[in-house]
Structure 1
Amino acid sequence: MRIRALALATVLVLTASGCATSSFGDEPGKTLTVLTHYGSEPHKSGLKKLVDEWNRTHPEVQVKTQSVLYNELLQTVTARHASGQTPDIINAYSLWGGQLAAADVLDEPPTDVATDIRDEYSPAASEAVTVDDQVLGYPTEMQTYALIYNKKLLAKAGVTEPPKTWDELEDIAERTTVTDDSGNLDVAGFGLTTDFSDTAVVHPFASLLQAAGGRYMNADGSAAFDSKAGQRALSLQKQLVESGSADPGLNTIKAFPSNRVAMTINAGYWIGVLKGMMGDDYENVGVAPIPGPKAGDKGSLAYGFFTGVSSHSDQKDDAWEFLRWLNAEQAADGATRMGAFQFGAGSIPARVSDSEALTADDPNFEPFVQAMDYALPEPNPRGGQQMKTALQGSIQSVWTGDLSVAEALRSAAAEADATLNQD
């Protein structure tokens, strides 16, 4: 399809224009290592094409890649840093930024790189890779959240537009819910995601939290979600379950493409997944901002990954030059190699010019791109992962009726605050 062809064309144009070797790296036989979690398709082959291009046009400094599973990436980075065997370039989840900064894992970017990131990337992207006013590296893949809905299912229930308030969301969820003669759920009016990670549970809640005017974390690093806004957001999810419009046991990731879920909240990458899974039925997919309690309110959460240079690298200048080539050098259409690569793999480019160059063809991408301007960046303090894990369990306990909303948020906040600043 045209948007993927455009992304590929950008990579090819940049390949053709990158034939001149640079003046850095005069020592022969130099090699940079890059550690990522890109061990599966389409990221694996996409990154390989870029590295092959660099190696072909920069014989004085070669690049080789190493990949590990995502759930092994943080442990691998910290363990190798402790042993002095850190790769030159690290790809990391932005949530881990505070932990990596505290452990002095990352080199401070050159001034021109830091300025480029602050000026040319979306606010959500630049904030996600900043800890204590220090930029950590180039944002690569970014995701925001929006309301994804099935236009055909809404129309069947007499609904012509997606909800603009929580009351409308509850009403539409109830109207689109269908059960069989035995009371079993045939179509869920709203889909909760529970099936693959803490991200699937916490990020939609955090998006609703922001839509209600709440915050995920205070400036001092303590939990802020145990608030009136947090209670309203979690109560909304609880009400959807209790009304029968949502079922925590339903696999939304499989049910939505099968036209068995009317609405859900998910990240932008899922649009590419739905295109591949739904075929012609993809024309029934619509995307809108996540509404808040009253008309005009909206919320989203932004998260992503970044690439930085190891503080232990002996080739920092060469490593940053490679990252400039990958993330800042633009083709005639205004897109960078990283932007074209990530968009071709289904992610929203973090660089503003990349988003403008690559996402215009599919209107379903627009709400995700627009959310870059207002989305709450996922906080990246030292204990961010522990906070996220604690909140996941508490949210799901409300869905299953094991905890009240107040108990769940109080418990998660207490656990998060106890671990947030532990050494």
Structure 2
Amino acid sequence: MRRTTAAVSAALITALGAGCATSGKPETKQADAGVPATISWWSTGGDDETAAFQKAADLYKKSHPGVTIKVQTLSWDDAYAKLLAASTSRSGPDILSGGLTWTIQFGMRGAMVDLRKYGIEALRAQAQPAQWKSAVSPDGTVYGVPLDMSTHALYYRKDLLGKAGVTAPPKTWDELTADIGKLRSAGVKRPFSIDWGNLDWIGFFNYLHQAGGAFYTADCKPSLDTPQAERALSYWVDLYRKHGAPTDTVAGGDALETGTAMVSGGSWIAMSLDTDKPELKGKWAMAALPAGPAGPTTFIGGRAVGVTSYSKYVQQSADFVKFLYSDQALDAIAAESRARNVAFIPPRPDKIATSSFTPEQSAVFAGIIKTGAAAPGCPGWDDSAPDVAKQLQSAILGRADLKTALSEAAKIMERNAG
């Protein structure tokens, strides 16, 4: 999930509370696998992304003429609530895709098929391990598999770094803060800002893992009462309070255009920066985020795709989901994404070189993703995330000390775990 506003988060929590009674409803009678099937796929994202996925669906039809797949767009703003409502009423799409951990939440309510019954685990060896783990339920049930990837990168103005005598982007936390100081001394008023994850748990995720911490233990117990978590929050807070990162979110491209020297932002920024901001062409570059004391681990986002338990065409739908990992499908999606100037990183690391980005950009993302980590797939995380973010914000805004903010966030996660 790329962006979550406070209003949307509140709506999602309300919808989650209303959706707990689905598992007791009877299963939909399945149609015979050999009969013609018209399958609906509700895809969270934009219309251009839907068009790219439709290319894979049309390609599948060529070898399966009895199966027609129609892809429909859901916007990120209300997709979760719509999908959860469909799960509650047990009427809606045959296939759905959305945030990486969403299918787990729907599956726990009886609304998703365990795709292991249809041979889906054969895809596991092809997926990025951390992302696969995030999409799979802690008990091993596979309600959905990764559909694509997104990640963070450090975007920087070569000309502004050069003005400060900085010859290469920072590679460590210490180098980042040192370079911010050099940029300020050179008269650069906005040395650093955060786009994706600004004042949000996604932004903290990078520093938490780079310090050697995590939101949960391996057995899904809250894990924020650690020295690693405190060290990460201390550094993150200092980026705002001591080093001037703005608390107001400015889109990455806009920040670079208006004189920000370095921006931590989503992978999709690279897709359209030259076309949206032509005056920056040749002036910017990108690199991995600076590594912390435990290493360079960076957040991997993306979508998961799964099959609903109320579909009449479960077998055909599951077969199509497997097809989405084929070379043919991924090449078709990437080609259409490239034609539409839309970001697409395949869920298979060995296919990142054929993403919709340039070869140079793809190589940067491949390196970042190799050591990446994804959102926790633990019970209650999607319920907890918005309020966890609020507790982290309280430390940045000076309303709570580090230990209190982390303790209160852990309490929220503990309450929602049941």
TM-score w.r.t. the length of structure 2 is 0.82
Match of 2:412 in 1: 415
The residue identity in structure 1 corresponding to 2:40 is T
Note closer, same or farther for the CA distance 1:106–1:336 as it changes in structure 2 (3 Å cut).
farther
Look up the equivalent residue of 2:411 and give its one-letter code.
A
Match of 1:346 in 2: 343
Q: Deviations over 1:107-139 (max 9, x none)?
A: 122567423321111213322221122333331
Question: 1:72-221 counterparts in 2 under 5 A?
Answer: 72-110=78-116, 113-131=119-137, 132-177=139-184, 187-193=189-195, 201-221=200-220
What is the deviation of 1:293? 4.0
Q: TM-score normalized by structure 1? A: 0.81
Output the CA distance in 1 between the equivalents of 2:53 and 2:62: 14
2:131–2:373: 8 Å Cα contact kept in structure 1?
no
Aligned to 1:404: 401
Q: Is the 8 A contact 1:257 1:274 kept in 2?
A: no
Q: CA deviation at 1:53?
A: 4.8
Instruction: Please report how far the alpha carbon of residue 252 of structure 1 lies from its aligned counterpart in structure 2 after TM superposition.
Output: 4.7
Q: How many residues align?
A: 384
Partner of 1:222: 221
Pairing partner for 2:378 from 374, 381, 404: 381
8 Å contact 1:252–1:261 — kept in the other structure? Answer: no
Residue of structure 1 equivalent to 2:257: 258
Structure 1 unmatched ranges of 5 or more: 1-23, 181-185
Output the CA distance in 2 between the equivalents of 1:50 and 1:293: 39
1:282-305 deviations in Å (ceiling 9; x for gaps): 4332322223344x8212111221
* 1:68 lines up with 2:70 in the alignment: no
1:221-266 deviations in whole A, cap 9, x for unaligned? 2322342222222222222223343221362535423142222322
Indicate the SS of the match to 1:161.
coil
Q: CA deviation at 1:199?
A: 7.6
**What is the CA deviation profile of residues 51-102 of structure 1, one whole-angstrom value per residue up to 9, with x for unaligned ones?**
4555576442222233332232222222222222132111121122431221
Rounded to whole Å, the distance in 2 between the matches of 1:277 and 1:138 is 33
Alpha-carbon distance, 1:338 to partner: 4.0
Note the residue ranges of structure 2 that are not aligned, 5 or more in a row.
1-31
- SS of the aligned residue for 1:345 comes to coil
Q: Give, in whole Å, the separation in 1 of the partners of 2:267 and 2:240.
A: 25
Call closer, same or farther: CA 1:358–1:75 in 2, change over 3 Å. closer
**Residue 353 of structure 2 corresponds to residue 356 of structure 1:** yes
One of 316, 319, 327 as aligned partner of 1:318: 316
Q: In the alignment, does 2:35 pair up with 1:27? A: yes
Distance (whole Å) between structure 2 residues aligned to residue 75 and residue 264 of structure 1: 31
TM-aligned CA deviation for residue 201 of structure 1:
2.2
Name the counterpart of 2:235: 236
CA distance in 1, matches of 2:393, 2:126: 38
SS in structure 2 opposite 1:218? Answer: coil
In the TM superposition, what is the alpha-carbon distance from 1:179 to its structure 2 partner?
9.8
C-alpha distance in 2 between matches for 1:238 and 1:330: 43
Stretch deviating more after TM superposition (171-180 or 200-209): 171-180
1:174 and 1:245 in contact (8 A); partners too = no
Paired with 1:69 and 1:335, the residues of 2 have a C-alpha distance of 22
Partner of 2:332: 337
Question: Does the Cα contact within 8 Å between 2:257 and 2:280 map onto a contact in 1?
Answer: no
Instruction: Give secondary structure in 2 for the equivalent of 1:135.
Output: coil
8 Å contact from structure 2 (residues 221, 414) kept in 1: yes
8 A contact 1:80–1:86 mirrored in 2: yes
